Amino acid sequence: MLEGLQMLGIGLTRFLTLGSLFNVLWAVQLGIIVGMLPGLTATMGIALLVTLTFRMPADEAVLILICMYIGSIYGGSRSAILLNIPGTPASAATAVDGHPLSRQGRAGEAIGIATTGSFLGSVIGMIMLALFTPIIGNFALNFQSIEFFWLAIFGVVISGSLTAPKDPLKGWIAGFFGLMIAMIGMEGIHAHVRFSYGLVELSGGIRLIPAMVGAFGFSEVISMMKHQKVEIIKSDINRVIPKFKTIAKHWKTIIRSGLIGTFAGAIPGVGEDIGAWVSYDFARRASKEPEKFGHGSIEGLIASETGNNAAVGGAIIPVLSLAIPGSAPAAVLLAAMYIHGVRPGPLIMIENPQFVYSVVAMFLLATVAMFILGLSMVRGLVKVLEVPRSKLMPVVFVLCVIGSYAVESRHFDIIIMVIFGILGYVMQELEYPVAPMVLGIILGEILDKNLRRALVVTDGNLEPFFTRPISLVLIFFILLSLVSKARWFSLFKARMWLGIKSLFGKKHA
């Protein structure tokens, strides 16, 4: 514990320079703007910023990306409150009570409460990040090639099932399609070229940044072309800084929502939006005034904003300890770490334990900056919502092209970006989630290398894949995820529940 505090102090001292603090401020501010604007998601903002930080030192680049992550998840609350249009999916629950408050002439109060809830949620997520990342990382040292193979499968299955709740099969298809894309190019052990079909450009595989920028960035440009212009609702901004007693009154809701959000974020593929909705639902169930929810409840607004920002810290826990992202923005952050030479995963507590506490220090600085900037310049920033999408999307497209080309100066990467942008748009129209595909591309190399490495070690024997204790646990959760989403299983659960209710009803009679 003492050693961890010392490393946290070292990491914090490293970033207390004018240059680093300036990067924190502009990155958080840019994240708030990205989160505010409907159509620009946290994932897209981080993906575009990865290309601009490519030449920076690893610590500074990751600092900027974490600031963008935290700022954009918070920023979505602005448009959710003022326009009833969530700037990011994570702010959908915020609109339920935030916009009614705005309609009542309490927009400034709603923004202040959302900012405070976001700050406290991020603090809870940061504490959990500092406590549990070393614990999970030390446990993960027991993982070998076989366990990493199943872990990759588990990440794709969980991501697919939770990002496509209406039809999990679409999520699984998207995830395994991403694994197939990862197989293109030279394999990692013998450098044998696969699935290039004679194209020299494909021999090195599909680069992650162009694919990611296209799937999350260019696809949104295409999608925005068919959307109508956003209606701007004028709202007076009154008192922004909330009263202390208003926040203190809901301390139980804040702690509960922070813990729920952190747990939801730590589950691969769940993300901040699920953390917000689950926190909101639990708050409504526990509230003494549930009838106010949906009509301007302060408690509901605090719960949703605390939950989605706590999920950011939770999503980074598996990134650092297992190299498995907890959400789509965390997947982009994981890719950026690999690009900058940082190797997150079970070995990070041996190879680079200081980096874990440096990330906690980055999280702290970004959280404080979000709170300060979130309570200041509110009136000026709200005018950003009046920027026409027709003028914004060309800028995004230019950034997509420049970002894809700048990494390796290859025109082919622009083509890849466009292809994946069109693919991402088609997937969205057909209601196939894009995040599992990107996660599959990231995990594909892990799955491929560890599968073949394990087969070499076991001399082609498949028995250890199904007999090792950790593998059995992972297989159990994979099967549980698959079975629990099956229609027949849902029907069975419903009938069983009705049977239990009728049984107890008869007894009462």
The 10 Å Cβ neighbour count of residue 294 is 13
What is the widest separation between alpha-carbon atoms in the chain? 77
DSSP structure class, residue 327: S
**Is 475 inside any structural domain?**
no
Query: Does residue 477 sit within a domain?
Result: no
DSSP bridge pairs for 193: 186
- Quick check: 124 and 258 in contact, CB under 8 A? yes
Which residue range(s) make up the domain with 353? 2-467
State the first-to-last Cα distance of the chain, in angstroms, to the nearest integer: 57
Do the strands 193-194 and 185-186 form a parallel or antiparallel pair, or are they unpaired? antiparallel
**Which burial class, exposed, middle or buried, applies to 246 when counting CB atoms under 10 A from its CB (0-12, 13-18, 19+)?**
middle
* Cα–Cα distance for residue pair 214/233, rounded to 1 Å: 32
Tokens of 297: 């409840």
User: 293: alpha, beta or left, given left = phi > 0 and alpha = psi -120 to 50?
Assistant: beta
Q: Is the CB of residue 66 less than 8 Å from the CB of residue 362?
A: yes
Amino acid 508: pLDDT: 43
User: How high is the pLDDT of residue 120?
Assistant: 93
Tell whether 94 is covered by a domain: yes
Whole-number Cα distances in Å, 189 to 17, 106, 311, 450: 42, 61, 36, 10
pLDDT of residue 70: 93
Which residue type sits at 509?
A
The answer as to whether 473 is a domain residue is no
User: Into how many domains does the chain fold?
Assistant: 1
498 assigned to some structural domain: no
Q: Is residue 264 a contact partner of residue 282, using CB atoms and an 8 Å limit?
A: no
Q: Residue 155 in contact with residue 443, Cβ under 8 Å? A: yes
DSSP state of 245: H
Residue 484, in any domain of the structure: no
Q: So what's the pLDDT on residue 24?
A: 93
Residue 426 in tokens: 């088609």
pLDDT for residue 352: 79
pTM more than 0.75? no
- Contact of 306 with 113, CB cutoff 8 Å: no
Spell out the residues 6+ positions from residue 145 whose beta carbon is closer than 8 angstroms to its own: 449, 450, 451, 453, 454, 457
Q: Is residue 483 part of a domain?
A: no
DSSP letters, 399-414, are HHHHHHHHTT--HHHH
Tens-binned pLDDT, residue by residue, of the chain (509 aa): 566 677 778 778 888 889 999 999 999 999 998 888 766 778 878 888 887 887 888 889 999 999 999 999 998 888 788 777 677 777 878 888 888 887 787 778 888 888 999 999 999 999 998 888 888 777 766 778 888 888 788 878 876 765 565 777 888 888 889 999 989 988 877 778 888 888 888 888 888 778 877 887 788 788 877 765 555 555 556 667 778 887 888 888 899 999 988 888 887 656 687 788 888 888 888 888 888 888 888 888 999 899 989 999 888 888 888 877 777 788 888 888 888 888 887 777 777 778 888 899 999 999 999 999 988 877 666 666 666 667 777 877 887 888 778 767 788 989 999 999 999 899 988 888 887 887 788 778 878 888 888 998 888 888 889 988 888 988 888 888 777 766 545 555 555 556 555 655 544 44
Q: Is residue 141 part of a domain?
A: yes
> What's the sign of the alpha-carbon dihedral 98, 101, 107, 111?
negative
